Amino acid sequence: MKYGLLVYPETQNLGDDIQSYAALQFLPRVDYYLDREHLNLFRSQNGEQVAAIMNAWYMNNKFNWPPANAIAPLYVSVHFSQEDYFGINTRFLDDLGGNALQGYGSIGCRDVETFHMLQEKGIQSYFSACLTLTLPRKFEKSVDFSYACLVNVPKEITACVSKICPDLNIREMSQEPHKLNTLTWNQRFRLVEEYLTFYQNASFVLTTKLHCALPCLALGTPVLLLKDSSLYDLKRFSGLDEFLYVSDTESFLSGKCSWQPNNPPPNSSAYLPYRESLIQKCTTFVNDCENGIEPPHREFSAEQRLAWQSSLLERAQDNVNHRFSELYQTLSELQASKDWLEQHSEEQEQWIGKLQLDKDWFEQHSREQERWISELQADKKWLEQHNRAQENEIARLQERLTQNKGS
């Protein structure tokens, strides 16, 4: 039996290669690298069967589903995305696309969202969790100083952790973007091992990346996942986040997060049954292949595939046409608004000119009013002074009159 490893050659996200590395540990060798986005185009030598652990995020090009006949799959840790480039959404699991998953027993879903999606399509499934939970703890080494890994977190988080733990070395890291497609597969997997070594020997890891947090569970490193809705499609986290300590950037910075970097709690052990189940399934799958027990696989003729893909592309075209129609309507409305504004711009300029004249008139009369007020204030002051003088004169005359009457 030949073995294939599922990969995503064009990714810039090291998390994709970590998922491939998790499957690699179970394979006795890699005879073929299977491009996740072009599984339907795979051809083996002489049509031989190729066993593959099919843990992956599926997929940007949904019209390239289902996998080629030569692939004998083990469907575990599968994530089917609702989003794609062409708006096909979950329709690629209808008809032949869904039939391609039948006959393999229950499909292992990486997250609860995918589990519900397959259930709605009438496809037998279960929540298997992610294959990265099976990574071995083989990267331990002595370190000269304690450090923490902060992976794809905002600068504010780094500053906050540095303030809370001033004596701890901080290693800022990123799992994307990397120019991975410029490296060989051996180089890419050595990079994965380099990152996993950093993670396993850290005092703790704080990250926004799911495929950093889950490997840290497997490696036994205390980890906090910051799950910010503004960054990611959080449906991918469903079910998996129950294994982790989870917060968000705002809560962490405001001190509302119970997980503290100066005293990180040990990880939950809730993931362990899923880890053991995944190890057992993958090990049994490979052992059966090594013992000559060929895994089940579905075969579809070229005509069946072509008819189904044509139908799917027609639906995609309908969706594109609909979206184009909406866009055209929006552009028409914008053009009408532009025409109206241009038509009324002359009137607006006249109104602006009139308003400017009114403004000038008000400013001019405001200055005159200020002058009149100033003159009235001066007159008021003179009258007050004159009144006081007259009152004094009247008081003096009354006093003289009183004196004359007395004499």
Within this chain, do residues 9 and 112 fall inside the same structural domain, yes or no? yes
In this structure, what token pair is assigned to residue 274? 């899923």
Distance CA 79, CA 211 (A): 13
Higher-pLDDT residue of 338 and 98 is: 98
Within this chain, do residues 194 and 289 fall inside the same structural domain, yes or no? no
Asked if residue 389 is part of any domain, the answer here is no
Asked if residue 391 is part of any domain, the answer here is no
Within this chain, do residues 119 and 16 fall inside the same structural domain, yes or no? yes
pLDDT in tens, 49-93: 999 999 999 998 898 999 999 999 999 999 998 887 778 889 899
Q: Which of 270, 286, 321 is the last residue of a domain?
A: 270
Q: What pTM does this model have?
A: 0.79
Using DSSP, state whether 278 is helix, strand or coil: helix
Within this chain, do residues 284 and 333 fall inside the same structural domain, yes or no? no
Instruction: Please give the full DSSP string across 54-96, using - where no structure is assigned.
Output: --EEE-S-GGG-S--TTEEEE--SEEE-S--TTS-GGGGGSHH
Within this chain, do residues 317 and 378 fall inside the same structural domain, yes or no? yes
Mean pLDDT lowest among 108-122, 295-309, 323-337, 392-406: 323-337
Within this chain, do residues 263 and 332 fall inside the same structural domain, yes or no? no
In this predicted structure, what is the pLDDT of residue 232? Answer: 59
276 has a pLDDT exceeding 90: yes
Within this chain, do residues 126 and 22 fall inside the same structural domain, yes or no? yes
Full domain range(s) for residue 192: 147-270
Within this chain, do residues 189 and 246 fall inside the same structural domain, yes or no? yes
Within this chain, do residues 330 and 365 fall inside the same structural domain, yes or no? yes
Q: What is the mean pLDDT of the chain?
A: 91
In this predicted structure, what is the pLDDT of residue 61? Answer: 87
Asked if residue 232 is part of any domain, the answer here is yes
Asked if residue 107 is part of any domain, the answer here is yes
Within this chain, do residues 335 and 358 fall inside the same structural domain, yes or no? yes
332 has a pLDDT exceeding 90: no
The domain that holds 174 is classified in CATH as 3.40.50
Asked if residue 404 is part of any domain, the answer here is no
Asked if residue 353 is part of any domain, the answer here is yes
- Mean predicted confidence (pLDDT) in 311-333: 75
Within this chain, do residues 153 and 239 fall inside the same structural domain, yes or no? yes
pLDDT in tens, 349-406: 777 788 788 788 878 888 888 888 887 788 788 878 888 888 888 888 888 888 888 7
In this predicted structure, what is the pLDDT of residue 407? Answer: 66
Structural domain count of the chain: 3
Distance CA 209, CA 13 (A): 10
Within this chain, do residues 81 and 8 fall inside the same structural domain, yes or no? yes
Asked if residue 399 is part of any domain, the answer here is no
Asked if residue 184 is part of any domain, the answer here is yes
Instruction: Please give the full DSSP string across 181-244, using - where no structure is assigned.
Output: GGS-HHHHHHHHHHHHHHHHTSS-EEES-HHHHHHHHHHT--EEEE--TTTS-GGGGTTGGGGS
In this predicted structure, what is the pLDDT of residue 230? Answer: 60
pLDDT in tens, 86-143: 788 898 999 999 999 999 999 999 999 999 999 999 999 999 999 999 999 999 999 9
- Mean predicted confidence (pLDDT) in 324-352: 75
pLDDT band at 231 (very low <50, low <70, confident <90, very high): low
